[in-house]
């Protein structure tokens, strides 16, 4: 398919195909709906006027995703009230809620893409092959108050952490 990017990322060095377009800074951020921990739909378009860091992860129940989400939770407090961090995965909302409780994560909003599966293909993070096909790849997007993409990082090796400093700098810049 035209919207498949073969070998866009790797998992333990093995090439992985991602479904969906490769987003670039300056584009309008695609709208999507995902479920929060209370099973309520959350739409990106309803966050107008806020800067949103979208942290896409395969599963909170894996070491790197756990580390990444805890780090963003620590950073969230320093970003001010007009910046939100949303961690999105295909984990069930019940699992996300349990994980947040166990990890003490309260500053990051966890969202599940399991029902509508709209986020993965819209943001080009849908894993199409390999052992974790159907999950979302590790990536970070910063969406400005104007609804435009300000920063994009598709993490080349799914097992690696993203460049936190670049994402946080982009969010601070977009919020000022």
Residue 62 CA, distance from chain mean position: 15
Q: Which of 108, 173, 113, 123 is nearest to 145 (CA)?
A: 173
Q: Which residues on adjacent β-strands are paired with residue 146?
A: none
> How far is the first Cα of the chain from the last one, in angstroms, to the nearest whole number?
40
User: Does the annotation count 65 as an active-site position?
Assistant: yes
57, 60, 65, 76: the catalytic one is 65
> What number of other Cβ atoms are within 10 A of residue 26's Cβ?
9
Burial classification of residue 115, based on how many CB atoms lie within 10 Å of its CB (0-12 exposed, 13-18 middle, 19 or more buried) = middle
**Token couple for 93:** 């909302």
> What number of other Cβ atoms are within 10 A of residue 82's Cβ?
13
Q: Which residues contact 169 (CB under 8 A, 6 or more apart)?
A: none
Catalytic annotation, residues = 65
């Amino acid at each position: 398919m035209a919207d498949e990017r073969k070998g866009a990322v790797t998992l333990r060095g093995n090439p992985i195909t991602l479904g969906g377009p490769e987003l670039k800074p300056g584009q309008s951020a695609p709208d999507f709906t995902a479920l929060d921990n209370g099973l309520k739909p959350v739409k990106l378009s309803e966050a107008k006027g806020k800067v949103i860091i979208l942290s896409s992860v395969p599963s909170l129940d894996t070491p790197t995703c756990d580390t990444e989400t805890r780090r963003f939770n620590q950073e969230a407090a320093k970003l001010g009230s007009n910046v939100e961090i949303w961690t999105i995965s295909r984990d069930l909302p019940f699992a996300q809620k349990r994980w947040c409780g166990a990890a003490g994560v309260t500053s990051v909003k966890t969202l599940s893409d399991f029902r509508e599966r709209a986020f993965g293909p819209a943001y080009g993070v849908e894993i199409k092959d390999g052992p974790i096909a159907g999950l979302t790849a590790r990536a970070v997007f910063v969406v400005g108050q104007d609804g435009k993409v300000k920063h994009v990082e598709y993490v080349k090796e799914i097992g690696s952490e993203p460049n936190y400093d670049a994402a946080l700098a982009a969010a601070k810049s977009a919020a000022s």
